[in-house]
Structure 1
Amino acid sequence: MLIDRDDIILWRRHYLRTIKRLSDEGRPIYYLDESWVNAGHTRSYVWVEDTINSSKQAFLSGLSTGSKGPSGNGKRLITAHIGSKTGFVEGCLWTFESKKSGDYHDEMCAETFEKWLQDVLPQLQENAVIVLDNAPYHSRRKEKVPNANSNKHEISEWLKSITIDFEDDMLKKELLDIVKNHVTEQRTMNTQ
């Protein structure tokens, strides 16, 4: 924490204040995450007992002589679950076998995540809050918000489509500032 950037510190403080406020309001808070495990997953280190001098002595003492498991290769399972202070939500475990060997995030997509989440939502208490990380498949925009790579015409058309007024002679940078302010305002409204 001593080397955290100021924006990370501010984000963390905002998060903690928001969670406290929601908790004080009596809203049930659920935490959602996903992970993976390989069939041959083992720890890469072991504790060492320096009073044991032989494998026979280790065996007689009920200790192992180190990790003998496979390298971590093999089938990969991807799993997601959601829980709260009362435990995991029954019937919401999602596990499937990975078809790829790279980063498991590559195999998750917004469509499959949303399908799973639609089954989860009816299992949650009313007025629930779900806390999740910013994995790309946890959110997707139905519309493309203009960015610095957009041209002035694209930005103008987007602003018109959501009925935000602007002057025709504005610079691209000015239009992007309007877009940024609108997106920030929408996010603020969604967290209240």
Structure 2
Amino acid sequence: MPRKTLRSQARSMIYSVHQHMLKEANEGVKNVNQVQKRTADATGISVNTVKRVLREANKSDSSGSLRTPGKKRPRKKPVTDMDNFDLGVVKRCIHNFHTSNEGFPTIRKLQMKLRSEINFQGSTKSLSRIIKKQGFRSKRTADKQRVLIEKMDIRFQRLEYLEKMTLFRQQGRPIIYTYETYVHVNQSNSKSRPEGSHSKKPTPHILGVGILHAGSDLGFVPNSLLMFESKPKISKTGQYDINFSTYEKWLRTQLIPNLPPNSVVVVGNGSYLNKPLEPAPTPYAKLSIMQAWLSEKNIPYKKDMLKPQLYNLIKLHKEKDKIFYIDKLFSDQGHLVLRLPLYHPDLNPIDMVWAVIKAYVSRDDTEANKIYELIQEKVADMGLKYDWKTLGDKVKEIEDNYKTSDVIIDEMIEKIDISGNISDSGSDTDCSSDSSEDENDSESNNKDFIYFEVPNVKSEEEATDPLGGIKQEKYV
């Protein structure tokens, strides 16, 4: 068996067991049947800890291996884990290079701009990770300089969205924005709700409360607030997602009944939003199901075709007439769905509202059993006091800036010589830099560095004014 380096806690436990054995050798063995108590005395830990470890061992595999508590718990990275609002700020900083006649930005230029104007504390390597997640790729020009260029399919989605949005506004249709967010707080031992009792000693478990709501220039859509407890979908990243049945019920019972006639409903790109109405057959579906699907779509095929050949036909055609479940749900009631382009939460004014609500709820002294009450309190306050039209006007300004930027981007691409083709695949050239990860990414700098959200505010007025955050965007 290979030797392992024992940590200080294990070494201390060995010493405690040795001392306990010496004591038993001198005084004799007592309380032989109280195994857990003797284990606790020998190891120097509490009986409750012994019980907890034994319960975990009984649930584990036959090897008896035990994991370190919290080792795989989702943890926020101090630099690269940015919320939607901050990511929108970085994206607009890149686009401002285009509109200010500075050309395409490099990683180093962008880092210097963010450091001088919004106090970005990360390295070029961390910044590369951030912007890669936003759909940008680094390409080398003929003069060996690396420049950042947005993926073509992301630009296409944005252009289509902006064209449709302009048309709907000209038609005078109500624009309703929907979006979800999550608030994380310490969960009490009793797991109680606002109306129940609670323990004063919270456990380190994390309670994720999902919030679904909708709003327009007139404010929140009445009676459309939904709150629900949610657990991480992926433990390593801490990402959350909504169960489709929960979302569908919200649409049917809360949102759709309260929408103005002939509304355009703006949604994001979550998996629950893209459930097909009639899913295409999978590669392992029965032969008869594949043939029936092709026949229903009037797609010709040969009777002697095998399943790989049939499925290849299905792949070629399944996206053409694809209808999403929620699109049909809205259209049946006279409404239309418009999806945000990927990586563009800044085009949704309700995302600005979430920053305020999360700052208000996720305070250090927030008790878990009060979280639902605090969310309702803040939503009601914002519905009464805020000028939602100003939020909408801010988004329209951002839309106009993107339109201007896209024209300039095409003009600049024509003027520069980029070696190779710009690929939109994940294997495209990474946005990496020659510099290595610096000390700014360590836990010693575990703080928010894009100061456009509202945490740590001093007064109630500051804590409830999303427009205060918007006005600070003098650089973006």
TM-score by length of structure 1 reads: 0.66
| Partner residue in 2 for 1:79 | 211
SS of residue matched to 1:168: coil
* Counterpart AA for 1:109: N
Cα distance in 1 for partners of 2:229, 2:317 equals 45
- Do the aligned residues in 2 keep the contact of 1:78 with 1:96 (CA within 8 Å)? yes
Cα distance in 2 for partners of 1:158, 1:128 equals 33
| Partner residue in 2 for 1:182 | 321
Cα distance in 1 for partners of 2:299, 2:183 equals 51
Note the residue ranges of structure 2 that are not aligned, 5 or more in a row: 1-94, 96-147, 187-203, 328-335, 339-476
* Counterpart AA for 1:181: K
SS of residue matched to 2:150: coil
| Partner residue in 2 for 1:54 | none
Q: Alpha-carbon deviation of 1:24?
A: 0.8
| Partner residue in 1 for 2:153 | 7
The reply on whether 1:114 has 2:248 as its aligned counterpart is yes
Cα distance 1:167–1:138, how it changes in 2: closer, same or farther (>3 A)? Answer: closer
Structure with bigger gyration radius: 2
The reply on whether 1:131 has 2:266 as its aligned counterpart is yes
The reply on whether 1:144 has 2:279 as its aligned counterpart is yes
The structure, 1 or 2, with the larger RCO (C-alpha pairs under 8 Å, 6+ apart) is 2
Q: Alpha-carbon deviation of 1:89?
A: 1.1
Count of residue pairs the alignment pairs up = 153
Cα distance 1:90–1:151, how it changes in 2: closer, same or farther (>3 A)? Answer: closer
SS of residue matched to 1:164: coil
Cα distance in 1 for partners of 2:250, 2:182 equals 17
**What CA deviation, in whole Å up to 9, does each residue of 1:109-168 have, x standing for no partner?**
111101011121111100101111111112323432146x357934332122x2414142
Cα distance 1:27–1:150, how it changes in 2: closer, same or farther (>3 A)? Answer: farther
SS of residue matched to 1:104: coil
**What CA deviation, in whole Å up to 9, does each residue of 1:79-121 have, x standing for no partner?**
111001221112111112335574321xx21111010111211
| Partner residue in 2 for 1:104 | 240
TM-score by length of structure 2 reads: 0.29
| Partner residue in 2 for 1:90 | 222
Cα distance in 1 for partners of 2:207, 2:286 equals 49
Cα distance 1:133–1:99, how it changes in 2: closer, same or farther (>3 A)? Answer: closer
| Partner residue in 1 for 2:179 | 33
Cα distance in 2 for partners of 1:167, 1:20 equals 42
Cα distance in 2 for partners of 1:159, 1:138 equals 25
Note the residue ranges of structure 1 that are not aligned, 5 or more in a row: 41-71
- Do the aligned residues in 2 keep the contact of 1:33 with 1:133 (CA within 8 Å)? yes
Q: Alpha-carbon deviation of 1:191?
A: 7.1
Structure (1 or 2) with the greater helix fraction = 2
Percent of residue pairs identical: 30
- Do the aligned residues in 2 keep the contact of 1:155 with 1:176 (CA within 8 Å)? no
Cα distance in 2 for partners of 1:167, 1:99 equals 45
| Partner residue in 2 for 1:164 | 298
For the aligned residue pairs, the C-alpha RMSD in angstroms reads 3.1
